[in-house]
Amino acid sequence: MPNRISFAGKGGTGKSTLSALMVNYLLDRELKPILAVDADPNANLNELLGEKVTITLGEIKEELRKSVPDSMARYDYVEMRLHQAIIEANGYDLIVMGQPEGPGCYCAAHSFLAQALEKLMRSYQYLVIDNEAGMEHLSRLNLLEMEHLIIVSDASYRGIITVERIAELIRSLNIKVEHLWMVVNRCPDNFPRQLSDLAQEIANRQNLKLLAFLPEDPQVLKFEALRIPVFQWGKTVLKEASYSAFQQLF
């Protein structure tokens, strides 16, 4: 099984950016093969990696719910469509889960897709997952074991408090995590001591390892606005700081 590295956090904390930087980090250190999974319904990991999405797993599930060709067994069809959904990039692959399902029963579709996805993942050494805050995609597709799960907060009271709620949700979903981490992202130079103390308090209470306080980096906002992939960022403040933090995982 691959080394599974998952990022979670409320919207706007920068977890997709850190997921993309993790892919970049692994590639820079020749740690591959890598499969990146965008499990956030508001998918934008592909933009940070500079890739275009043609089909999502959500669309495949919708196809399965409606019909499959009479000439193919359903599982064979799922495997074929799953491989078509893989974006083969430079040194890594990417799949996008897409939007949640509409009304109707998706139980069989979930089962077939989960089996095919589990088989696919065995082909990779590293799996990088960008999650929604609710983590429901992980539960539905049986991605219930992780070597590393990193909960990302921004430099705010609400963001740090949300880390505790997500940690509790992870346990309620019976997701088994070997190393559960916390990152406080976008910290200004005058980051209040009260917030850093709160982060440490929650980390202690929830048995989280405090991975890093990552700095605010105005260059990142510029690069994201211009849709410049992380591979073209050069030596930014955030990239250097995140790389230093990621070394603790391997």
Q: pLDDT at position 200, please?
A: 97
Q: Rg of the Cα trace of the chain? A: 18
pLDDT of residue 196: 97
CATH code for position 46: 3.40.50.300
Find all residues with CB under 8 Å of 156, minimum gap 6, and list them.
195
Instruction: Kindly list the averaged pLDDT for each block of 10 residues, start to end, along the chain of length 250.
Output: 90 93 97 92 88 89 76 82 92 86 53 80 93 70 84 95 92 90 96 97 96 95 92 94 95
pLDDT at 109: 58
Range of the domain at 231: 3-249
pLDDT at 106: 44
pLDDT of residue 59: 87
Residue 36, H or E segment: strand 34-39
Closest alpha carbon to 41 in 134, 142, 128: 134
Confidence at residue 100, expressed as pLDDT on a 0 to 100 scale:
59
Q: How many domains does the chain have?
A: 1
In angstroms, the Cα distances linking 230 to 16, 138, 239 are 11, 25, 9
CB 64 within 8 A of CB 78: yes
DSSP string, 66-120: H---TTS-HHHHHHHHHHHH-EE-SS-EEEE--SPP-SS--HHHHHHHHHHHHHH
DSSP symbols for 172-236: HTT-EEEEEEEEEEEE-TT--HHHHHHHHHHHHHTT-EEEEEEEP-HHHHHHHHTT--GGG--S-
CA 132/CA 136 separation, integer angstroms: 8
CA distance 161 to 168: 11
